[in-house]
Chain A
């Protein structure tokens, strides 16, 4: 039985819709950023949608994730509403962090996401404590740590993987290997070809996953999370993926070739799933159009919400420093 058949058309369509939401959200954010409506900078997720969507589909709101400086996709996939995420990017009081976090620190305890940690490797160490709490309390919860391949050269990656291993913590470490840490290509900063290979050094299991195929991520993610939930964690998944856009704003991407970009764009996870849906289930254009329409409506509403929301209140900058 194929993964598609196992999941059923309805589930696959829901994954498609969620990936579409992540993609259109980012395209929309980029447009708003260029228009000067969003301050600061943005690190965007186009191309990597299959990873966040495939993994988070298995998580409930009582499971937790950590994220990085590139958190928009993780936030939406974990259940933060586009309007709350967008309002946060605008620095509005109605944002998911009340305007105090911003693009790099999206998060919300209500959906199981600590504020994204924009220090490379920061989530890798913190997630061990989350897993430890679940283990000590025997809750059956799991924690997922999303991180890039760049983080694997931080001490935090190694110390945390080892600690999680010896404690058998209910954690899935999900590496999104998009090949570039800012402008630096991975093979120039590691002689180990695959991040997954590093798991052996810590005595845990790992798997290389096609991060451009949401069904593959969904399958491997589901197995890893089930294992982690039943005391067989931690597990390291390496999702091979690619960011279609620059590291942040003003990145002309001169460090990689147009040919390489074109090659990866051919593997666009959304286009691929669309083709699968057409071939395997005969989904019609009208269905895809309807999904696009629903996503657009939600984003239009989110934009209106963000634009018309009250600004963060300056005096409140002083509140919330201590509990």
Chain B
């Protein structure tokens, strides 16, 4: 099924009765609430998530959930990332389905041992007898906060066998895939971009409307199924988060110059829907990967290597990556803009493939 940039085709076909637009925040909140109603083993654990008069989590995703589910299932923790991750893993091993919250993905490094040595390996070490059905939500993305509050560390986790990695970029898919992640029997890290939560990031996202149609009926979006956001015959762009919207904006500009880009949101990096990706690359003969993670060792390198393997004879030009330059994130906005992929850089890299 083909979808357009904002998934309107699919929704207008299937959910005409229930047109309503939600932000990613609202969609995630609905997903969590629905799963908590459905399954008593689901609970939330993290900092500042249920405090009365508080923030509803660092980005307001949990607002109102404490009123419905109470502090027994919306568990406010000390500032103790190791305890948050460890408690989630332990509870998951005992049959619960925790949703753990990191206020910023940068703080995941505080609990790398739990995630990498514990969560990822329990299934395997137990000879397949145990599992860790947990979700870890983590906001990513640069927003003028400097070096320790804007990183996109998805690639670290893609490197670890045993972990699943999801990147959500629109409300419709965010809701459906978070529900699937909660029901998944593996540890799933869900990365969300701070500028895409509400509607305020619209300008940075190239003017795209950041709300999407979300049906009121229940639905699930599977992990490992990429979404073609825009059809094109000349070049395949694989991108996530805000880079996806910047790629769509670049594609729009390039269309005026006669270059038709096919833009794909992989939705999950692990598992990766290589079938959809290679089908596109074999059609277009060109591949550009765009991400806000830094270049070296980023997930774009993995996709490029796989594509070189699988699509070698179809490629008409070198595979290109557009990523944050290899520096810690600088604070000054003018510097930040210089290192993070923007529409112009994406556009010029794609143009270079046709020179």
Contacts and interface: CB of A to CB of B under 8 A. Distances in A.
Interface of A: 39-41, 88, 91-92, 97, 99-105, 117-121, 150-151, 153-155, 181-184, 188-190, 251-256, 311-318, 321
B334 interface: yes
A104 B79 contact: no
B323 to A, nearest CB: 14
Given A119-B110, A255-B53, A317-B335, 10 more contacts: A40-B144, A41-B145, A91-B332, A101-B146, A102-B146, A104-B146, A181-B78, A182-B47, A255-B54, A311-B334
B143 interface: yes
Nearest to B52: A255
Contacts of A252: 53
Nearest to A118: B148
B149 A39 contact: no
11 contacts: A100-B332, A102-B146, A102-B331, A102-B332, A103-B146, A155-B80, A181-B47, A183-B54, A254-B54, A312-B335, A315-B338
B311 interface: no
- Give the size category of B's interface with A: 35 or more
Contacts of A91: 144, 331-335
A315 B325 CA distance: 11
A314 B82 CA distance: 37
A183 B51 contact: yes
Nearest to B107: A119
A91 B80 CA distance: 31
A118 B53 CA distance: 24
Nearest to A257: B53
A139 B146 CA distance: 34
B126 interface: no
Interface in B75-100: 76-83
Nearest to B328: A321
Given A183-B53, A254-B54, A255-B52, A105 B79 contact: no
Given A153-B78, A317-B327, A40 B145 contact: yes
Interface in B107-149: 107, 109-110, 143-149
Contacts of A315: 338
A54 B52 CA distance: 34
Main secondary structure of the interface of A (DSSP, over half): loop
B326 interface: yes
A177 to B, nearest CB: 13
B332 A99 contact: yes
Nearest to B103: A182
B55 interface: yes
B339 interface: yes
Given A154-B110, A316-B335, A102 B47 contact: no
A316 B52 CA distance: 44
B197 to A, nearest CB: 13
Nearest to B331: A102
Contact of B79 (A103, A151, A317): A151
B262 interface: no
Contacts of B83: 153
A121 B82 CA distance: 12
B331 A40 contact: yes
A318 B336 CA distance: 11
Interface centre among A105, A121, A184, by most chain B C-beta atoms within 10 angstroms, is: A184
Contacts of A97: 331
B146 A40 contact: yes
Given A181-B47, A318-B327, A105 B147 contact: yes
B330 interface: yes
B48 interface: yes
Contacts of A151: 79
Contact of A99 (B54, B327, B335): B335
B334 A312 contact: yes
A88 B144 CA distance: 12
Contacts of B107: 119
A248 to B, nearest CB: 10
Contacts of B328: 100, 321
User: When A and B form their complex, which 5 residue pairs have the shortest distance between CB atoms, in order from nearest?
Assistant: A102-B331, A254-B53, A91-B332, A153-B78, A183-B54
Contacts of B332: 91-92, 99-100, 102, 311-312
B322 to A, nearest CB: 16
User: B147, B325, B330: which has the most chain A beta carbons within 10 Å?
Assistant: B330
Contacts of A312: 330, 332, 334-335
Given A39-B144, A105-B148, A153 B48 contact: no
A67 to B, nearest CB: 13
B80 A183 contact: no
Nearest to A252: B53
Nearest to B337: A314
A313 B81 CA distance: 36
B252 interface: no
A184 B325 CA distance: 36
Most A-side CB within 10 Å, residue of B76, B107, B143, B146: B146
Greatest chain A CB density within 10 A among B52, B79, B328, B336 is at B79
A311 B78 CA distance: 39
Contacts of B54: 182-184, 254-255
